[in-house]
Amino acid sequence: MHFIMNKNNRLKSIVRCGCYFLFLLLAFSPTSLMGQEIETFQLGEKTTVIKPITWTGTIYSSEKNEPIINAVLQSDGGINAITDLDGRFKINLPKRTHIFTITALGFEDKKVSIDAYTSAKLDLILNVEAVLIDEVIVSGASDRSALKEVTPGLQRLNAEQLETQSKFFGEIDILRSLQSISGVSNTGEGASGFNVRGGNTDQNLILQDGHLIFNPSHALGFFSLFHPDLVQYVDLYKGGIPAKYGGRLSSVLAVETRDGDKERFKMKGGIGMVSSRLSLEGPIIKDKVSFIVGSRYSYADWIFNLVDNPEVAESSAFFNDVTAKINARLSPTTNLGGSFLRSRDDFQLGDEARFDYSTVSGEAYLKQLIGDKMNLTLSVNKGRYESSLFDLKGNDQSKFTNAIDYTRGKLDFLYVVSDNYKLNVGADLNLYEISPGKIAPRNESFIIPDELEKENGREIAGYIENQFTIKENLEISAGLRFTSFANIGAKTVNIYPDGEIKTDRNIINQQTYGDGETIASFTGFEPRLSLRYELNERASAKLGYARTYQFLAQVSNTASATPIDIWQLANQHVAPQYSDNYSVGFFKDFGVKKYQSSVEVFYRKSVGILDYKDFAQLLLNRQIETELVTGEGLSYGVELNLKKQTGSFRWDMNYTFSSSERQILPTNEQVGVNRGEWYSSNYDIPHVFNASLVKQFNNKTNLAINFTYRSGRPTTAPVSSYSSDNVLNVPIYSDRNKFRVPDFHRLDLAYTIGPFGKKDGKVDHSITLSVYNLYGRKNAYSVYFRQNSFESVKAIRVATLGTIFPSITYNFDLK
Amino acid sequence: MKKYLLYLIALIFTAGIWSCIDEIALNVDTEQRTLVIDGFVTDSLGDFRLKLSQSSIIGIGNDNILDPVPGATIQLLTNDGEAHPYEESTELPGTYELFSFKALRGKEYFIDIVLPDGKHYQSTPEKLRSTSSIDEISYDVNEETYRNNAGELITENIISAKIATSFSSEDPPFLRWRVTGQYQVQENYPMALNPLRCYVDVNLDINDIRIFDASKVNGDRLLEQTIAETVYDFRFGEQFCFHISQFSISEAEYNYWANIQEIIDIDGSLFDPPPGTVIGNIRNVDNPEDVAVGYFSVASVFFKRYFVNRDETGFSVRSKCEGFFLRVPFACDDCLLLNNSTLEKPPYWEF
């Protein structure tokens, strides 16, 4: 009997498609079930002869029929194995029944009972987390893994979950999807980046494989640069950040792309109203070397050109990106590969101004298995983010450019010491070269060409993380990261008198540092701790603590991040930022895996947070330190999650109450903000509610409804006004961020027909009809104040998207 | 059908992006008021006014009407002990006047204000900077299309007044321009026996800040700097005169106007800087936390007039009272009905 029993509906559907797993059906069969969770398999034929027994096999993904690398098999008898680059493993077993737990990143844990008789081959399948076939509900980590996962605040999404999110012009988007998770928000439609638990956008470490991403947004945040068809899974660490990650205060977003299929060519894509996407994958050398490449291209200009308005007709919004990956299996234990990412945006506002920004990054990596318990990963990345602002009109036409170049090396070593102990050690090296600004005249402009000195930084970190299973229901992950950062020459540094406010008029000296010479250096220990205590099969409690350092900050004095924001390294004037993150969570399932709930409380205190003086001039400023002020930040809140993930009607809802505040004290060396009193940060959104409902009508159609509500973000409003010479209405503003813009809420629908295609299952098509902002809510991106002569001040709401957006997207999948 | 579908899509999309600006109620419950000082002196001999008021409360009727502050004692002081007292106007409450004054180079000037309640304010002392002269004045007229507050597309001819100026590249000045206009109107009505001619003053730069930091120029000349723009209409139908004042101001005053410009330009765009309160140069002597708003300016000034005559622009335009049919246009039978008009021909008028 050659089949694998799996109760998962999704897998059943895949098997019905007739395209997966035929070769898995070898000499083994499940004979019985041990309760709800444990499947039982017989290894070999029953015999009374006692011989050494070897279990060989491969762990596959239920979703893509791909082998899973680094899956860990742990037995109740202390026998462990880790899968190689082909997902294979080999274990010697004594003749008896063994209970094995199989775990892998991005997959549900699996517990199996193996009745070992003779040596044989037995393959197993792990389910992709929280994924049911045609599932349209959107959630964070799967419910079971939320209970089992030791790290509090970890949210995982996979590609299929992403497909079910709100669609703006029919496009799937990772960043928009993340914003439906509790604790994640942004400052409004059209704002770049995202904010985690009240943190800044620059406080998120964003990685695609090993590529450092400095601006993940396309088209001012309506799309992101992650190609959805290439994404294997997305991890967002909101609270307990593992020691292997560092360099940002509030979160880590790690996007992993998948390898290309090593056996056959496949093509996938979608055609939408403003952009289309395509991905290709297949073998270069069958079973040895594969590639995958995906690209997206926008073409919104045709819509602009239809409009009888010169300002609109001269506007444009364009983006494209290419992501490519090659993977070579040199031996069963050695895997070599490389990847490339290029993303470009071009956004023009009428005939006045234009923004260009681009990301280019390359990676080479080596994955080496040492024995069956150790895994070594070495990666090297090099990339650049560059942005330009063009002034297109008048006699001061110019092009302003700034950029950041990085080189990154990472060595990671994972050792499964025993059933109850996993060790992860490694080191990071990041080299940064900041080009803070260059301006060049255009046409007949009077602008003087100018370029600021480059700034260089070297960040070195080493880490160790120990994951212990102390008792069956108590798991601890304890790590320590040590980071050393140096701001290095060549550079000329301004010297200011001690105890005085820095201004461009009180520079008393300048000091020049040679190439590679250390200008300022900082070190810090970052302890990390995660603890999970399983109260029973359906409830667990978690604790998390992480200290994080950040040596690279985005300097921006606009309400939300913009593509041209400058990156600033810690130096002798700008201290590094650090924060202490605490989180506590309680997770409970109700019914028979029907309802899942969780409550998480978080608290973060940050030191060295940057803010700005009023009217700070940041572009091309050789004394940028004179515009900055520093202080403390405090974020805290509670996140409630409740979801139902089974049946044809599923839902997921979450509510977050939080606070994000700052305090900038006036001192001898800086002016304060709001007289040194605590004030709301730009990302202080006290109430957030998200709800997703999905109705599966049959195998071919489903309807998804998403609703989101957020408190209005803080703003500064005029409280009085006066006249000054020929200017009649000069507003006097309130304390910073004293008021709020109106609340944000929006309802979206998506109706998907498909997949439908040929009976051989090699071609699938689907059509998604979606309506974004169903009731045309004019959500305020911002509020400004206008006062015409002899009138009272009026509050004017600006809504970036203020109407209903229907769209249609055609998707295809050639397997 | 396809065409209409495309138009529908475009309409939805563009309506979403560009039409979502509307007025909302935002409750700003406060009664914060601040002392406002509005005045200046220059190196040109003349009478100078200083207005003292309290800032208006947002949301209560007409915010432009400021409460004047009468009864203050105001003096212009110098670093070498000179005192030039202001006299309170008997006609305009809260307005104080300094007669026949001219600021001199080399001296530092600051204003000293004592309110009736005893609060004592002073401005930061400022020195006159060297005068920068205007070398050349020119203009051009262009057809421009824009969208008005009602969302309608408007196409108009706009005339731009421009100047060229030279300066020392070793000590580049900070410049500010104020521009007013004046035009003549010839009465015209049926059976007119003695049609009169009026001369009408117009404001050209309300809420229009024109400043320049000459250190940003590559060289020692600024060419074709636009200093005023206005609609090219009936006012140019006979003769129009630009009155141009070019002030050389301090760096602190330049920053003040740059900051004012920044906050009045805020329009809710994605790239707006966060607003702040513009700090001027006047503080309470006894309480540094008590900051008045406004700027007391000490500047050197260069003044020049420039006439634009009918039809020399290449764009044809009719005067106000020319070629009407049946109904006499407003004020064409009595040009003194126009605001700020006079029958007295200015001595500098060309024709």
Q: Residue A461 contacts by C-beta under 8 Å, 6 or more apart in sequence?
A: A246, A247, A427, A428, A429, A481, A482, A483, A484
- B33 contacts on A by Cβ (under 8 Å): 720
Q: A617 and A634 in one domain?
A: yes
Question: What pairs with residue B108 in β-bridges?
Answer: B127
Q: B195 and B84 in one domain?
A: no
Assigned domain for B49 exists? yes
- B13 contacts on A by Cβ (under 8 Å): 303, 805
Each residue's pLDDT tens digit, B270-324 = 667 778 888 899 999 999 888 899 999 999 999 999 999 987 888 888 888 887 7
A213 or A122, greater pLDDT? A213
Each residue's pLDDT tens digit, B185-214 = 999 888 878 889 999 999 998 889 999 998
CB B302 within 8 A of CB B164: no
Over pLDDT 90: what percentage of chain B?
56
Q: A210 and A70 in one domain?
A: no
| Average pLDDT across chain A, whole number | 83
Is pLDDT of A22 > 70?
A: no
Closest residue in B to A782 (Cα–Cα) = B268
**Residue A804 belongs to domain with CATH number:** 2.40.170.20
Q: A266 and A235 in one domain?
A: no
Closest residue in B to A732 (Cα–Cα) = B277
Number of domains in chain A: 3
Q: Do A615 and B273 touch (CB under 8 A)?
A: yes
- B17 contacts on A by Cβ (under 8 Å): 312, 800-801
Each residue's pLDDT tens digit, A266-278 = 999 999 888 899 9
- Alpha-carbon span B215 to B230, nearest angstrom: 28
Assigned domain for B270 exists? no
| Average pLDDT across chain B, whole number | 86
- Alpha-carbon span A682 to A550, nearest angstrom: 19
Annotate A295-360 with DSSP letters as a single string.
EEEE-THHHHHTSS-HHHHT-EEEEEEEEEEEEEEEETTEEEEEEEEEEEEEEEETTTEEEEEEEE
Instruction: Give residue A188's pLDDT.
Output: 76
Return the structure tokens found at B105: 């180079």
The alpha-carbon gap from A595 to the nearest alpha carbon of chain B, in Å, equals 38
Return the structure tokens found at A182: 């509790």
Q: B229 and B173 in one domain?
A: yes
- Alpha-carbon span A367 to A70, nearest angstrom: 10
**Could you say which of B78, B103, B128 is where a domain stops?**
B128
Which helix (H) or strand (E) segment holds residue B6: the answer is helix B2-18
Q: A472 and A572 in one domain?
A: yes
Taking residues A404-428, what's their average pLDDT?
A: 93
Q: A687 and A569 in one domain?
A: yes
Assigned domain for A4 exists? no
Return the structure tokens found at B188: 């015209």
Is pLDDT of A79 > 70?
A: no
CB B253 within 8 A of CB B299: yes
Q: B107 and B181 in one domain?
A: no
Question: What pairs with residue A370 in β-bridges?
Answer: A374
A448 or A581, greater pLDDT? A581
Instruction: Give residue A20's pLDDT.
Output: 25
> Model ipTM?
0.87
Closest residue in A to B40 (Cα–Cα) = A725
pLDDT band at A457 (very low <50, low <70, confident <90, very high): very high
Instruction: Give residue B30's pLDDT.
Output: 64
Q: A414 and A289 in one domain?
A: yes
Assigned domain for A132 exists? no
Nearest CB to A729 within list B24, B64, B147: B64
Instruction: Give residue B95's pLDDT.
Output: 96
Q: B94 and B63 in one domain?
A: yes
Each residue's pLDDT tens digit, A719-755 = 888 888 888 888 888 889 998 888 999 998 888 887 7
pLDDT band at A35 (very low <50, low <70, confident <90, very high): very low
Q: B180 and B224 in one domain?
A: yes
Q: A294 and A199 in one domain?
A: no
Over pLDDT 70: what percentage of chain A?
85
Instruction: Give residue A17's pLDDT.
Output: 30
**Could you say which of B128, B143, B167 is where a domain stops?**
B128
Q: A191 and A279 in one domain?
A: no
Taking residues B334-347, what's their average pLDDT?
A: 93
CB A521 within 8 A of CB A564: no
Instruction: Give residue A429's pLDDT.
Output: 97
The alpha-carbon gap from B12 to the nearest alpha carbon of chain A, in Å, equals 7
Instruction: Give residue A273's pLDDT.
Output: 83
**Residue B111 belongs to domain with CATH number:** 2.60.40.10
**Could you say which of B128, B158, B189 is where a domain stops?**
B128
Is pLDDT of A9 > 60?
A: no
Q: B163 and B124 in one domain?
A: no
Assigned domain for A232 exists? yes
pLDDT band at B40 (very low <50, low <70, confident <90, very high): very high
Instruction: Give residue B18's pLDDT.
Output: 44
Q: Which domain holds residue B94?
A: 35-128
Q: Which domain holds residue A165?
A: 143-256
Q: How many helices and strands, by DSSP H and E, does chain B display?
A: 2, 22
Q: Do A732 and B262 touch (CB under 8 A)?
A: no
Instruction: Give residue A809's pLDDT.
Output: 86
The alpha-carbon gap from B149 to the nearest alpha carbon of chain A, in Å, equals 11
CB atoms within 10 A of CB A137: 22
Give the best-scoring range by mean pLDDT among A97-106, A501-510, B85-94: B85-94
Q: A711 and A599 in one domain?
A: yes
Q: B142 and B82 in one domain?
A: no
Taking residues A120-125, what's their average pLDDT?
A: 87
Number of domains in chain B: 2
- In the block, residue with structure tokens 């020119």: B138
